[in-house]
Structure 1
Amino acid sequence: MKTCELFRDHTVLSFEIFPPKPTSPEDTIYRTLDGLRDLHPDFISVTFGAGGGANNQKSLEIASAVKHQYGIESVAHLPGINLTRSEVLTMLEQMQQQGIENILALRGDVLPDTQPRGEFRHADELISFIREHGDFNILAACYPEGHTESPDTVTDLRNLKRKVDAGANQLVTQLFLDNRYFYEFREKAELVGIHVPIEAGIMPVTNKKQIERMVQLCGVHLPDKFMKVMNRYEHQPEALQDAGIAYAIDQIVDLITQGVDGIHLYTMNKPYVARRIYEAVHRLLYA
């Protein structure tokens, strides 16, 4: 099933998971999926394995298992920055063979002091290529606070419009901690002619390292309310986890109340955290 069709009758809830590290036990990811199965997400997206080769195949294997073994629609991530057209074609063929209909098409991270070796320098180029070579549903990323490499939000919105015009059927946001950024972004996207479903990406913060990583990689704004919670409990791991989950629940309840198309939960492969949030909000999704 193409996930863009899910938004017709309710607020969509989806999860993101990532392949385990090569040093982790083989069944680690399946224990994660076992813990998520009975939460009945509308779909689960699987990030692209770092390092290429066997790790990429592992991502496709997991996405296929999500759909065929767990009975949940899957989305395979596909960053193009280090892939040639030939490599992407091969992956599209493999996805078709495994019945994977949904792709999150990304540019991918540019590594410091490393020249990208692929042929896709921007996500819209990859989206156009996928659109030409298969009947896939294509998701794309968007950035409520603006992409860290974009000079301003106007330029960022123009780039997003290129993705949609190239064939993206739905969007999922980078994580954010202040819902005001999302509402302002959603309004501006509508004004520039972006009329596809937009899922709000929410990451429950459960430890201090996550905060530091978010600021470093994403440039995400840390609201005063959030920092007061984090500073109060930073030396109490269990209390910090509970506080981070509660903050995410508050965000999600507000988003659903304001008519968000969907919630995309970055689970960090922690079923317990996903379950706490699901139990708090699932009735609101179908209200």
Structure 2
Amino acid sequence: MKTSAIFKYKKVLSLEIFPPKRTAPIDTIYHTLDELKGLNPEFISVTYGAGGSENNDATLEIASAIKNHYGIESVAHLPCINLTKSEVLFMLEGLKKAGIENILALRGDVSSEFPPKQDFRYASDLISFIKQNGDFNIIGACYPEGHSECPSLIDDIRNLKTKVDAGTDQLITQLFFDNSYFYAFRERASIAGINVPIQAGIMPVVNKKQIERMVSLCGVKLPKKFITMMEKYENNPVAMRDAGIAYAVDQIVDLIAQDVDGIHLYTMNNPYIAQRIYAAISTLLAA
């Protein structure tokens, strides 16, 4: 099933997981999925590591298991900056054989370790290529605070419009911690004529190291109340975890009240945290 169709009749809850490290058995992710399936997500997305086609085996295997063993719609991430057209075609063929209809099409992060290949410069290039070579539902990424490499919010929304016009069927935001950025972004998108479903990407932060890494990678801004929370509980791991869960729940409650299309929960492969959040919001999603 193409996940964009689900938004027509309900608020969507989806989850993101990532394959285990290469040094860990792939079976470890199935223990995580055994616990996450009880949350009844509309779909689960599977990330794809940096470096090119050598990473696709785990992503494809896990996405196929989600779809064909667990009976949940799956989304395979596909970052193109380190892929050639032939490598993307190979991945598309594997997805077709597995019955997977949904792709999160990304440019991917530029890395000095893996020099970019030249076939795809932007996510919009990948999206157009996928549309020409298969009948997939395409999900795109978007950035409530603007992409870190974009000079202005106006340029950012123009780039997003190009991505949607290339064939994007729905959008998932980068994580954010201040809902006002999401509401302002949603208004800019509407003014620009972007009318596909937009899910809010929410990441519960449960330790200081995690948030410092996220700020470094994504450039997201931290509201004062979030910083206060982190400083208060950073030396108490259990309290920090519970405060991070509570903060994420508070964000989601407000987003649902403001009629968000859906929530995409970055689980960090931690079923306990996802289960706690789901217990707090499940009745709101169904209301």
TM score, norm. by length of structure 2 = 0.98
Q: How is 1:1-287 mapped onto 2 (pairs within 5 angstroms)?
A: 1-112=1-112, 115-287=115-287
Alignment-mate amino acid for residue 205 of structure 2: V
- Aligned partners of 1:45, 1:174: CA distance in 2, in Å? 14
Alignment-mate amino acid for residue 215 of structure 1: V
Q: Tell me the CA shift for residue 269 of structure 1.
A: 0.2
- Contact 2:82–2:114 at 8 Å: present in 1 too? no
Q: Tell me the CA shift for residue 178 of structure 1.
A: 0.1
Number of residue pairs the alignment of both structures matches: 287
Q: 1:189 to 1:11 in 2, by over 3 A?
A: same
Q: Tell me the CA shift for residue 94 of structure 1.
A: 0.9
Structure 1 counterpart SS, 2:189: helix
Residue by residue over 1:167-191, the C-alpha shift from the partner in whole angstroms, topping out at 9 and shown as x without a partner, is 0000000000000000000001000
Q: Tell me the CA shift for residue 7 of structure 1.
A: 0.5
- Contact 2:53–2:87 at 8 Å: present in 1 too? no
Residue by residue over 1:224-274, the C-alpha shift from the partner in whole angstroms, topping out at 9 and shown as x without a partner, is 010111100000000000000000000000000000000000000000000
Identify the range of structure 1 (25-34 vs 102-111) with the bigger mean alpha-carbon deviation: 25-34
- Contact 1:202–1:265 at 8 Å: present in 2 too? yes
- Aligned partners of 2:45, 2:114: CA distance in 1, in Å? 27
- Please provide the CA RMSD for this pair: 1.0
- Aligned partners of 1:3, 1:165: CA distance in 2, in Å? 18
- Contact 2:200–2:263 at 8 Å: present in 1 too? yes
- Aligned partners of 2:132, 2:203: CA distance in 1, in Å? 33
- Contact 1:18–1:48 at 8 Å: present in 2 too? yes
- Aligned partners of 1:130, 1:26: CA distance in 2, in Å? 28
Structure 1: segments with no counterpart, 5+ residues: none
Identify the range of structure 1 (109-118 vs 215-224) with the bigger mean alpha-carbon deviation: 109-118
Alignment-mate amino acid for residue 163 of structure 1: K
- Contact 1:200–1:262 at 8 Å: present in 2 too? yes
Q: Tell me the CA shift for residue 114 of structure 1.
A: 5.0
- Contact 2:52–2:83 at 8 Å: present in 1 too? no
Identify the range of structure 1 (109-118 vs 80-89) with the bigger mean alpha-carbon deviation: 109-118
- Contact 1:256–1:285 at 8 Å: present in 2 too? yes
Q: 1:149 to 1:68 in 2, by over 3 A?
A: same
Identify the range of structure 1 (199-208 vs 26-35) with the bigger mean alpha-carbon deviation: 26-35
Q: 1:88 to 1:213 in 2, by over 3 A?
A: same
Q: Tell me the CA shift for residue 54 of structure 1.
A: 4.4
Query: Percent identity, aligned pairs only?
Result: 67
